[in-house]
Amino acid sequence: MKTVVITGSTRGIGRGLAENFLRKECQVVISGRSAPVVDRVVSELETAYPGRVAGRACDITAAADVQALWDAAYDTFGSVDVWINNAGMSIVRKPLAEQSVADLETIVATNLTGLLIANKVVLAEMLRKDHGQIWNMEGFGSNGQSAPGMVPYGATKRALNYVNGSLQKEVKGTKVQVNTLSPGIVVTDLLVGDYDLSSDEWRKTKKILNILGDTVETVTPFLVNGVLKADKSGARVAWLTTGKAFARFLTAGFNKRDLFAEYEAQAQQSA
């Protein structure tokens, strides 16, 4: 039975991953910045999967928090086989010249500095034990995509690929693996929060997102199956491949979807 630790797993993709690992008979450690939220999610999951769920609050920008999360997982389940660095954030889409310095510092601290700290702490432990997989999560920009308003987020995700490539060389010759998860475009609060849902920009963007996007419930089972099958460093589990995206555009005229109706309704109610 594998033990899986997932950062940023109280909602969205992270929680979806947690639930699917539990369905695959794994032991799962939940984490997020808010201790009360972590406790609530653990309680909810524990009802369905007794004895296989634990949790601890963790700010990935604090090395002591990451170490405490590792220690809690190891103390509870006796091993850490898979560690997924899912925690991340986005900021409102707008030109770089209009972004606040505080927001720029925060997104870099979380998506890049936090990524480096989490990898440093976890890899040190895994290398000491000569065992374990670490998975880092791609996002828009990882493969060189660019778009107006996405400079801060895309830059942090572009850096992730350099981190993975270099770390894979550092763990060569060991039994530790560094791998990549690529969920594609998943409908979450993180994605929708980038946009003003009443704007013309959103109406144009939504058409593309409805073609290429998918729900957490669709994507996360695929990702979990890929993680559990991976057996070597450098593995990449990708949901939205180039071929799949091309096929989506070819069939878009026959497959009308609205993945954002609920979000738009909520936005209208709060306006």
Residue 154: half-sphere exposure toward Cβ, Cα within 13 Å: 15
Question: Helix, strand, coil: what percent of the chain each, to 5?
Answer: 55, 15, 30
User: What pLDDT, on a 0 to 100 scale, did the predictor assign at position 187?
Assistant: 86
Report, as an integer, the average pLDDT of 165-187: 96
pLDDT digits (tens, 9 = 90+) for 55-110: 999 999 999 999 999 999 999 999 999 999 999 999 988 999 999 999 999 999 99
pLDDT exceeds 80 at position 267: no
Residue 224: both structure tokens together: 């979990």
User: What pLDDT, on a 0 to 100 scale, did the predictor assign at position 244?
Assistant: 87
- The CATH class for the domain spanning 3-186+214-241 reads alpha beta
The answer to whether residues 90 and 193 touch, using CB atoms and an 8 Å cutoff, is: yes
Q: How much is the pTM? A: 0.91
pLDDT exceeds 90 at position 260: no
> Between 40 and 214, whose confidence is greater?
40
Question: What CA–CA distance (Å, rounded) separates 224 from 8?
Answer: 16
Task: Name the band, by pLDDT with cuts 50, 70 and 90, for residue 204.
Answer: confident
Task: Name the band, by pLDDT with cuts 50, 70 and 90, for residue 176.
Answer: very high
Helix (H) or strand (E) holding 73: helix 63-77
Catalytic residue positions? 153
Percent of the chain residues topping a pLDDT of 90: 73
Query: Which DSSP category does 186 fall into?
Result: B
What are the residue boundaries of the structural domains of the chain, listed by start?
3-186+214-241
